Each structure stands twice: as structure tokens, then as C-alpha cells.
Chain A
């Protein structure tokens, strides 16, 4: 895949408070420049936003569940109750430096439209999602003959909110299709640790439990 050359290594020591935070959150936080303005779409309980605010980042959130919003407001975060599919359209162009979609893409009705909106609202987007090409997923389908369930995705097929699963390979193809530039890409293993950097895409697609991508708009004149 042509995009592989654009993948840059991640550097930087883990912060001292690292063990309080999820691995993918720490990775996302490392991708965000200090002092920037960030929108976290599907911010849940606001853990990532809190982590970002400790790093001097001006954060905002959108969260679908009322309980999540209430917990965020209790933490002093600026979070609005809303839906990625219907509410991103109301944000103006270039309103944020980064728009984050963490483990939410697979639950949207129109992932492509959502992705396009992320990069309209923000100069950059950071997207993380569970990789449906992960070997354990493949194995469950191949050998077990049933829809895969994992520790991180425990819901059954009939009550899961995740309606648009994709693999890392699928996502890279979508980015190519809608002319999105991948500035960084990282695959995390089951324990939230980055896979070795020089691995080929097929290896990531097989052994990455989730993918984290830093995206920007490719070229001018969009």
C-alpha cells in the first residue's frame, strides 16, 4: 500500500501519570500538540479530554449518552449531548486544530461522511477503531463460525452498537478514496502496546487489535 511510506514513528517518553490512562488515550494525547484546540467526538466519560486538559490543551466534547455528559460536566469539561452522525454538520469549518474520534467510527451510521466532517471541522483528525482483521476475530469466524466477541468488544451481534466494523486495510482504502493524508498510523496489540514499527501492513492488519491514525487533508483546494 502506497500510504505506508507516510507512516512516521512515534517518540516521546511516557508521562509519569501514564498508568492512570488507557494506552490508546496516551497514544492519542502524544499526537496532539500542546496549546491546541481539540474536539473529542464520542468522548464517553471524558477520560481522554481530562488527560488532554492536563497538557494545556483546550478541549471540547460531544457525547451521545446523557450519563456520559453528566459525568463530563461534573469533571468540569465542556461537553455537549449530541450525535456524531447528525451534529457534526453544525460545527463551522476549521473550528479546531484536532478532532478526535476514539473507538466510535464503527458505531456511526455513515462513517465516510463522519470522517469527511472531522477533517472539515479540524485541521487534523485522530481516529482510532477496533481492527476487525485482528487474528482472533478471523479465527472466531473461521473456526467458531460465529460473530467475533473479544474483551474489548463483548457485545453480541444483536445488541452491539457497532454497526460498521472495518479492518485496518479497509480504513486505509477509505482514506485513499476520499483523499485523506495519513500522517501517522499505529496499530496496538491486545494490551494497548504499539506493534513494531517496521512491520508490513498485512502484519498490522493481522496482529493489531486496534488502529490509531493521525489524518490531515491531502492537498489544497478541497
Chain B
């Protein structure tokens, strides 16, 4: 019989992951019955909580706050060790002392999105009405729902206007939604590698991922946690497929080529002969250790539904009419998930609405994931944009 290997079961971290969903090892803002979250689907979510991290110090006039948004599978642990995996924060190239999002100058906030699994209310949280985990009883949420929850957090923190909103991918969608929906509360915005709507191809990839999760018999209609199972194969396959879309042909070729994994010759089996196979399997299995399968369904769905223009008679420029927010839109040449054409569409709409927008396309072969990596040109432009905005805001002395 031909030898077969599949994704390893996530023996480790399962308990920590479950614990983080209700009792995150970060700050938590609780919103009781008097402050429901009004969801686009028509449901009032209450009570709910938002888990968040802050870095740096809020200044006296509360004008130096930057809200960062994480991407699909990220969380609030931007620049500290991750409580489940023990790995460094996901944006340490960008956030920290002396980094473009300088914690010596700015007060940085990042919250786990609603629907997430790291402490903000989502399908992995306990539903107080039933005492059971929400699972698929959790209402379907949207990007505007996530942002509406964030406005409640910012209110709670006593901040009126954010100095900047910054994020890549799904995080960039939130930055655009903030700018379109709450322009007076956003002084500047840095949306990276994103779009104002999810493309048909991207919806298709998400559907592939969801079907992989739901086809896993261990998924049990979303109630795996009660049945002592976990759809690690389905979620792992979803992650493997998604991970390919985050890279590029050139990056995969440069990193792996056709090189073999710990062997000289093919084994004539379905083992991971190639390094690229081994890498993808590792990506799949390490992801399932830290992420909730149902949460993956909800967050991909939220991205699918995203379409800012749809709320403005299909005219994107209407969404940004009259805004005073300064924007810097960034894309990457090898990003085929959110290609430069999507960013250009944003820029054209912003130009048409007279907004103060800059746009840079960064040359790199590292694909969509480039925004998370050490790409000096991207870091430089982010720094430059925020510094010039900081001068305009009076946070940074001019002429320096």
C-alpha cells in the first residue's frame, strides 16, 4: 500500500485556546444589556465583550491613538508573545519603540474582532443565555459590525478622534470602513493590501476553505467542542489552500523550488517528498492549534459580504464624499489576492471625492503576506506617512 501522511492532530494548545476565548490574557471591555451591538443581520448582540491590547501611552489631549486591525487569522497580540503559541507578535516589524508605529509617540490599540476566537465574543465564546458555546448559534457578522464594536471600545477608552487607523488585508477593510462610516473620528488612515469589496475569486477561495471545514466529519455541525472532536483536517486543508493565496509563484519558487524534504529521491508515495508540501502541512497543523474552526467560517463570511460601494448606490466615491481624512493606500506588486488594481479603484474613488490620498505600490515578490514581513520600502513609506500626518496633527514637531 502506498504510504500516506495527513495533517497532525493538534494535541497541544487545545485547552489554552478554549480558555482564551472566554478569559483572554489581555484587557477586556464588557458591554452589558444596556449597550447591545446592533448587527447588520438585525440581531442585537448582548452581552458581548471585546478583548484588546494597548502599547505606548495616551497623551493628555487623547490625540495620539492609533487603532490597528488584524487580518483574518490574526488577533490583538500585535507586539507581544502570543499567549497560546508563545510566538512573537504578528506585526513586530511595524509596531514598537522606534518602529513606524512608534510606541514612544503613539498610543496603539488593537482589539480582537467580533467573531474572533481570542477573547472577543464569537462562536468559540460561551453564550450566557444557554451556558453553552455559541457555535453556529452565533449570528453572522460583517466588517461594519466589527467596526461598530470597535467604536464602542474607543468610546469606552474616552477617545473621540483616532490619530490613525491602520491595517492590512481584512484589517485594511476595517480601516476603509472606519474612514467611510466615521470620517470625523479618523484623522488619517493607512489601508494596506486590501479592497473595498471582496472579489468573486476571493469569495471562491473562502468557500473552498469553509467547505473543507464542514466536510470534515469531526466538525459535527459546528458542535465539535461538545463532542470531544476537532475538525483539524478540514481546517488544516482550508489553511493550506489559503496560505498559497498569501504567497506568490515567485516567492514559492525562491523559497522551495522543487527541492526534496530530507531525502534525495522521490519515495513513490504520497508522503511530503517536496519541501513545499512539508511547509504547507506545517502551516496547516500549526494553524489549527491556535484557531477555532467556526470562527474561521464566520470571519471569512464577513469578508465575503464586504462591499462599501453597495451601501452608496454602487458608487464608491459617494462613500468617501467630503471626508477630511488623510489616506495612504499601499499595495504590493506580487499580491494576487488583493492586487494593485483593487487599490487603484480605492484611490480613484478617493480622488473623485477630493480626499487627500497618497498611493504607493511596493515592488516585492512576497505576495499578499508582504505587509506582515520585513519589506523596508513598505515600512519606510508607513513611517513617512504617519510622521507627516503626526506633524499635521501637532503630535510631532515640524521641521524636525
Contacts and interface: CB of A to CB of B under 8 A. Distances in A.
B352 A92 contact: yes
What is the interface of chain A mostly: helix, strand, loop, or mixed? mixed
B363 interface: yes
Contact of A73 (B348, B352, B388): B388
A66 B360 contact: yes
Given A74-B388, A76-B388, A76-B391, A69 B351 contact: no
Nearest to B351: A91
Given A73-B328, A90-B351, A95-B351, A80 B384 contact: no
Nearest to B360: A69
A79 interface: yes
Interface string B188-203: 0000000000000000
Interface in A14-54: 37
Contact of A90 (B348, B389, B391): B348
A74 B384 contact: yes
A57 interface: no
A78 B356 contact: yes
Interface in B359-391: 359-363, 377, 380-381, 384-385, 387-389, 391
Nearest to B350: A80
Nearest to B340: A81
Interface in A65-115: 66, 69-70, 72-82, 90-92, 95
A92 B316 CA distance: 13
Contacts of A95: 351-352, 354
A120 interface: no
B354 A78 contact: no
A69 B358 contact: yes
Contacts of A92: 317, 351-352
Contacts of A66: 360-363, 377
Nearest to A121: B351
Interface string A127-138: 000000000000
A184 interface: no
B328 to A, nearest CB: 6
A95 B351 CA distance: 9
A75 B351 CA distance: 19
A76 B392 contact: yes
A79 B326 CA distance: 11
Nearest to A80: B359
A66 B363 CA distance: 9
Given A78-B356, A79-B358, A80-B357, A70 B377 contact: yes
A70 B380 CA distance: 8
Contacts of B352: 90-92, 95
A172 B354 CA distance: 32
A91 to B, nearest CB: 6
A124 interface: no
B312 to A, nearest CB: 16
A60 interface: yes
A77 B389 CA distance: 10
Contacts of A78: 326, 356-358
Nearest to B326: A78
B361 A81 contact: yes
B7 interface: no
Contacts of A74: 380-381, 384, 387-388
A69 B359 contact: yes
A81 B359 contact: yes
Nearest to B345: A90
Contact of B384 (A37, A70, A91): A70
Interface in B62-83: none
25 contacts: A66-B363, A66-B377, A69-B359, A70-B380, A72-B358, A73-B358, A73-B384, A73-B385, A73-B388, A74-B388, A76-B387, A76-B388, A76-B389, A76-B391, A77-B388, A78-B326, A80-B358, A80-B359, A81-B359, A81-B360, A82-B344, A90-B352, A92-B317, A92-B351, A95-B354
